[in-house]
Chains A and B, each alone.
Chain A
Amino acid sequence: MVDKLVTDIGGEPAGAVPQEDRDQLFWEKQMIAAFNLLQVKGVVVTDEFRRTVEEMPAEYYANSTFYGRRLDGMIRLLIEKGVLDADTFDKRAQEILAAGTRDHV
């Protein structure tokens, strides 16, 4: 018996289905577009991306949001593939967060 994937939640008990809509934020739209391009260009494959999400720790997955885990899954995958350098990425993310602005992009 293989452990259940963290994504394999069909049939599990859960609370009420959220009825409130939520508009996509601009950066989320950009993110989807960038991820689409990574696939179209053959940099990543959808199933590789799903696998990186499945490899997330159960507790992380349970508390993650839809866009949050997509972003983290893609970052993990790009680091795994050597497209992204983990240290360079962390440093850049810290700089942008510290600056607190969107001006430099």
Chain B
Amino acid sequence: MNGDEHNHDHDHDDHAPTREDDDLELTEGEARFLALKSLLIEQGVMTADEIRARMEFNERGSPHQAARMIARAWVDPAYKERMLSDTKAAAAELGIEATEAALVTIENTPKRHNMVVCTLCSCYPRSLLGEPPAFYVSKAYRSRAVREPRKVLREFGVDIPDAVDIAVHDSNADLRYVIMPMRPAGTEGLSEDDLAALITRDSVVGCALPVEPA
């Protein structure tokens, strides 16, 4: 989707986001948003400072947050129990402010692989993973993940053997889901930070497995 917007280069300074798209031509979509924004500010509904502050807040939501939690759970069984029973409180323990009404962690096991989709829109645990990736919001994923999960996973290069059941979680209402992947073999000596680096965004929605250690 929006493939025509992929092509600008990204060797900009990530810390100066106000400049990052200035080399792109103004599209109708952006113009409509800018019109909306300017009217909301003029009418006193919100201020430009509030928008900036909220953008900074939203930037904290990134896959690194979920990875930190899962890595902690891999090394600390008591934390893992707390994360499975109350994911929001477990996030708060690591200083992560989760804005979702309710978060649930679901653990992959040798007998069951879990994956998440929101068929009706694109519900996603943004506080722990940031904005959803293009595949997750695509109509193809939303349509097919519930009906042919194994085929969809194979497109991601993930082949789940038939001896392992697949549970698809349609995130259709009030809960938001985090998948806790299994800790890869051969990671016994790794630090929590090194473990977190193995936990990719897609592994937390069940569309990938953690990276194997080098």
Contact = CB atoms under 8 A, between A and B. Distances in A.
Given A12-B143, A14-B139, A66-B122, A74 B31 contact: no
B94 interface: no
B145 to A, nearest CB: 8
A18 interface: yes
Nearest to B50: A37
A27 B30 contact: yes
Q: How large is the interface on A (under 10, 10 to 19, 20 to 34, 35 or more residues)?
A: 35 or more
B26 interface: yes
A18 B134 CA distance: 7
B35 A92 contact: yes
B38 A92 contact: yes
A31 interface: yes
A22 to B, nearest CB: 5
Interface-central residue, B24, B34, B43, by most chain A CB under 10 Å: B34
Given A14-B139, A16-B140, A29-B17, 12 more contacts: A8-B120, A10-B146, A11-B146, A12-B143, A16-B155, A17-B140, A17-B144, A25-B30, A27-B34, A32-B58, A33-B52, A96-B34
